Structure 1
Amino acid sequence: MKKLLKIMLIALCTILTVLVVFVASVYVVNLISNEREQGKIEAYGQKVLVDGKQMNVLIQGDGKETIVLLPGYGTASPVLDFEPLVKELSPDYRVVVIEPFGYGLSDDTDKVRTSQNIVDEIHECLQKLNIKKYTLMGHSIAGIYGLEYVNQYEKEVKAFVGIDTSVPQQETEELPVSSLQLLNQSGFYRLLLKVNPDQLLMPNVDQQTKDQIKMLTFRNFLNESQASEAENFTNNFKNAERLHFPKRLPVVFYLADQTEEETPNWKPMHEELLKNVDHGKVVTFKGGHYLHHTKSKEIADDVRDFLSNNERSR
């Protein structure tokens, strides 16, 4: 019996040692990788001083009309994520991609991520760039911030374009922020992406751009800004319930059929937001939530028609 217990104890100690070494190795590899990647991240766009911090912005195209692009939640690099859509829009428009604090190459911030603070920062950025009239175009959570934005700055916004955008009435889930941050800090998030790289949703871009997106994902994943934003989801969605799109503002929603299948009343909730709008429509495309990765050309073509038709009718 003593011999058996001794063998079991040795086996248990061996297993624990292997586990400790494995966990430590994953942690150290992640630390070293993060350090190395800092020097490999390539700069793009330009910096704008907003609320005492640096906000990164890309401006492309020389069109007379301006389209401002806002990202969905947790997008590692809005500029690189929107690259296919920017390519389609920039021949006809001046396209401005804003990377909010905590996203892309913008600074992180400890300022609470309420819709009001986010809207104030985006507006200050546009004011600093001397951009006075523009179409606001956003993906996912930008539908909530955009609703707040167009109500505050109705005279500046010429139209709103939503890419599978969030709506105030949809159900929201609380993210386990602390657990996910621990997953990232421990290095296991990097390991999971190594094992299953398809978890990281990316547009159809070259390998160098994909590598940049991956490095920015590890750098920005649930940083202080994104953690605060997740913690404020419930309040931000709740506060948006009081808002409606201005009657004279042209609004178009591009919805993904996969989201419609997964989310009850997805299309009706968007149609409800348009019921008092003079010029509004909903278009459904086949695809997933990141429609701008797969349907950039179709979206850009329809945006041109929608904006030009509504410009003539005003």
Structure 2
Amino acid sequence: MRHKEEKILRNTCIVIVTLIALLLIVGVNHQIQLKKETELRSPLGQIVEVDGHNMSVYTEGAGDMTVVFMSGGGTCSPILDFKSLYSLLSDQYQIAVVEKFGYGFSDAVDKSRDIDSILEDTRAALKEAGLTAPYVLCPHSMSGLEALYWAQKYPDEVSAIIGLDMAVPEYYDSMDIPIPFMRIASWAANLGVTRFIPGISNSDAMKHGTLTDKDKEIYEAVFYSRTATDTMINEMEWVKENAQTVNDLGVPQLPMLLFISDGSGGTGFDEETWRKIPIEYISQVEGGEYIELDCPHYIQDYEYNAISESIVSFLSDR
């Protein structure tokens, strides 16, 4: 019996030592690759200082209207994620993409992600980048909460909201936020385990958009440094409370156009429910409009041509 116990203990020790060695190899490889990718992670836009930290703002084009693109939760490279769409608009409008803390080329920071803090960071970043309100806001997914709150709190700064399958408060009444899973994903990303998962960095923007081969290289490099950052997780921990704050202030009345997907692509909702919630929301906006699209959640990577045409038509009436 003693011999059997010693054998079990020895085998257990071998397994533990092997796992530690493998994790060390994975971690060292990750650091080596990150160093090799340094040049690919050179900011694509301006880096401005907000609250003592670096924040990324990309601008392109010119025009009487400034269209601000705001990314959904966990989108590692907002500048490249929106590129297929904004490249079709920048000949008529000044476009801007704000990368929140923890995203893209912005710093990952440990600070509150309540809705006020997020909004004030965005406003400060745009100001530091030399842009002035009013803005046309184009939020994707979770940043819809920020856009609605912006219109509620500073109505003179928002001339219209164009929602790219954007979130409205009711979505979060029943949404399950998998924080433990996100922390595991964060640990795996920080260690470099994600580098060994085939196709994990191959985003919708890379597969279905108009990104160049160079863009895809940059996107992949950013992915390995900006997946499930602590700042992103902090933001998700706040999202239900943020949704309640926005809900309590009612539905803002301003020109609003919502593009609505079929709910596939990671929303966690069935198609009927996903479409029903924003349609009910926009019905409370005087003159509000919506367009249903037969594509997954990251609509800007699929229907960029149709969306750009509808945006131009919508804004031409403003």
TM-score by length of 2: 0.87
Matching of residues 1-40 of structure 1 within 5 Å = 17-40=17-40
- Are 1:87 and 2:87 counterparts? yes
Q: In the aligned structure 1, how far is the partner of 2:19 from the partner of 2:157?
A: 58
Distance 2:94 2:164 in 1: 19
* Cα distance in 1, alignment partners of residues 224 and 114 from structure 2: 24
Alignment correspondent of 1:241? 247
The 5-angstrom pairing of residues 46-57 of structure 1 reads 46-57=46-57
* Matching residue of 1:252: 257
- 1:189 Cα offset (Å): 2.1
Give the aligned partner of residue 200 of structure 2: 197
Quote the Cα distance in structure 1 between the aligned partners of 2:201 and 2:55: 29
- SS of corresponding position for 1:183: helix
Residue equivalent to 1:178: 183
TM-score (normalizing by structure 1): 0.88
Contact 1:147 1:243 in 2 (8 A): no
| Structure 1: distance between partners of 2:299 and 2:316 | 22
User: RMSD over aligned Cα, in angstroms?
Assistant: 2.5
Task: Supply the distance in 2 between the matched residues of 1:283 and 1:64 (Cα, whole angstroms).
Answer: 25
Paired with 1:79 and 1:214, the residues of 2 have a C-alpha distance of 13
Question: Superposed, which structure 2 residues align to 1:33-112 within 5 Å?
Answer: 33-112=33-112
2:113 counterpart residue number: 113
Residue 270 of structure 1 corresponds to which residue in structure 2? 278
1:158-173 mapped onto 2 (5 Å cutoff)? 158-170=159-171, 171-173=174-176
The structure 1 segments of at least 4 consecutive aligned residues displaced by more than 3 Å after TM superposition are: 1-21, 196-201, 258-261
Query: How far 1:67 sits from its partner (Å)?
Result: 0.7
**Cα distance change on mapping 1:115 and 1:264 into 2, 3 Å:** farther
5+ long unaligned stretches in structure 2: none
Q: Displacement of 1:141 after TM fit? A: 0.6
Q: Equivalents in 1 of 2:101, 2:2: separation in Å?
A: 62
Secondary structure in 2 matching 1:40: helix
- The question of whether the paired residues in 2 share the 8 Å contact of 1:147 and 1:244 is answered with no
Distance 1:92 1:12 in 2: 65
Give the secondary structure class of the aligned counterpart of 1:58: strand
For 2:18 and 2:108, how far apart are their aligned partners in 1? 37
Matching of residue 294 in structure 1 with residue 295 in structure 2 = no
C-alpha separation in 2, matches of 1:228 and 1:201:
24
Cα deviation, 1:273-297, whole Å, max 9, x if unaligned, reads: 2233222112111111111011111
Report the Cα offset of residue 257 of structure 1.
1.5
TM-aligned CA distance change 1:244 to 1:199, over 3 Å: farther
The AA in structure 2 aligned to 1:75 is T
Look up the equivalent residue of 1:281 and give its one-letter code: E
Deviations 1:152-205 (A, max 9, x none): 11112111011111121113322224322222233222222xx23366443421
